[in-house]
Amino acid sequence: MTIDSGILLQSGSKTDIGKIRENNEDSFYVNDKFGIYIVADGIGGYKGGEIASKIATEYLGERIFKELESLNFSNIKSNKFLPNEENIILEIIKASIIETNYKIIKESSQNNLYNMGTTIVLAICFNKFFYLVNIGDSRGYLWSNKEKRLEQLTEDDSLVNDMVRLGKISVEESRHHRLKNIITKYLGSSNFDKPIIQKINWASKDMLILCSDGLTNMLEDKEIESVIYQNSGSRVDIEGLKNDKKRNRSQEISNALVDLSNQSGGYDNITTVIIENK
């Protein structure tokens, strides 16, 4: 017997090569039925980065999906788990990420694609909370519909962010620092440790934003917040009100963020996945 997730989510997603790069090393995975979402940003050159990011989305996403599909938790519709059930889900996430790391290393070795790897930001969402993992500098943000405010949930695993934490440079200096693209953790690393999993509460109409650094390098948080605010409200015209329930705000916001990033320079691949808690 398999579970009926009972999860009410709507998502929108978009990936774009940008205006400078010759190929797109970003990829994403979306599974609204089981609330599984991943954004990955590949590293290691033209071919290696693409392969690593696709493994991190397709293999990891499908592995978690199949594991969750096989569960038979009676409380999954109510978003409540017994302690042992939650532990099972957390172990599925950890084991799946570790196995994906091994798979990328193996692929790298077999095809002589040295230094191949990828960042990831992964979310597994339910109606009252979600689990969130980030490795590298792809980010997760939460838009509070009640407070109309954007909050960064993840911390970049990067050299400049370490410098900010140590007080060596300011946040503003980190945005333009010459070492800003050096990440300290990624999938495909032989030194990879167990991932840190956050559990975060959210409410109806809140939105979770997953993105690669092609977005956040081009747009400041206040600009991302402004785009979400402008696109998250109901239309005021009669036809708009009539069709409001048919709107996919998540897709509208995802499109708008990618478009604005390209207008701001588009120096990197850009990927966004926006999930609305219905």
What are the domain boundaries of the chain? 9-277
Q: What is the pLDDT of residue 73?
A: 63
For the domain made up of 9-277, the CATH class stated in words is: alpha beta
Token representation of residue 8: 């009410």
> What are 233-272's pLDDT values in tens digits?
654 444 454 555 678 999 999 999 999 999 999 999 999 9
Distances (CA, A) of 149 to 26, 135, 183: 27, 24, 28
The pTM for the full model equals 0.92
**Of 49, 2, 40, 1, nearest to 21 (Cα)?**
49
Report residue 65: phi and psi, to 5°. -60, -50
Q: Of 98-112, 148-162, 190-204, 225-239, which range is least confident?
A: 225-239
Alpha-helical segments (H) within the chain: 46-54, 60-69, 83-110, 159-165, 171-175, 213-216, 221-232, 238-242, 249-263
Q: Which amino acid makes up residue 228?
A: I
Percent of the chain at pLDDT > 90 equals 71
Answer whether 183's CB lies under 8 Å from 119's CB: yes
pLDDT at 235: 44
